[in-house]
Amino acid sequence: MYTIGKLSKSTGVTVRTLDYYDEIGLIKPSSKTSGGHRLYSEDDVMRLERVLALKYMGFSLEQIKDILINTTSNWQESIQQQLELVKREQERLKMLEQALLGVSYSIEFEGEINWPIIFSIIQLYQQDPEDALQQYKEYLSEDEMKKIMDMNAGNMSEEDIKEWLKVVGDIRNNLHLDPYSEKAEQLVISWADQADKMFGQDEELLGNMWEALQDLKEGIAFYPMDKDVIDFIKRVAIAKGEE
């Protein structure tokens, strides 16, 4: 058993904070000495550990109280629950990082603040990744959608993203080119090489994704691909006899 002073010294949590947690019913000592001094059990210490972990992740004390009330678990289960919370928080922060990078890249790519694009990026990272790809469902298998979700969730390096933006940007800047020209063909080859790299040389996935893009011609999941870029690639492919 731990006195409040010993618990404070061992954990670094002030006596004043422990007093407050007791007052609001968050962490109440299991027993008291004959003199009325509070005594904390090992289970109480574990509860304190959970409170501190949840507080560190940004939960309010009221939210923490609800979480603790609605879970009954032993030490090992408690640790596993915290690990799951940490993983979800890591995923949320990773998605937030990707959203911020997406906005930054869009401003750099467009040369201005394109609010419709920014709003689309924000909406993309506010919804479940599965929902973001619903429009592609008739074209892609569940495994293929998972692969794309993993890619969008952070498996692409900053270098990959910049190279992707570059090859699409080069096409955007040369939409006027004759599709039979050598330069137009080279632009599409560069785009295809980068797409191969992004999708791990998965030809079936690339084919299905290309079919979806041609039909839908919209969506932010593969920004900055748009109708004009897709039509240019298609014209060059036809010129080469590949369509």
Among candidate residues 72, 93, 119, the one where a domain is terminated: 72
What pLDDT is stored for residue 78 in this prediction? 66
Six token digits for residue 222? 């593969």
Cα–Cα distance between 27 and 29 in angstroms, integer? 7
**Span 178-232, pLDDT tens digits:** 999 999 999 999 998 988 887 777 788 888 877 877 776 555 556 677 888 888 9
Report whether the peptide linkage leading into residue 224 is cis, meaning its omega lies within 30 degrees of zero. yes
In a domain, 123, yes or no: no
What is the total count of domains within the chain? 2
Among candidate residues 20, 54, 72, the one where a domain is terminated: 72
AA identity, residue 55? K
Domain span holding position 181: 134-239
- Residues of the chain short of pLDDT 70, as ranges, are 71-76, 78, 95, 99, 102, 117-133, 149-156, 216-223, 242-243
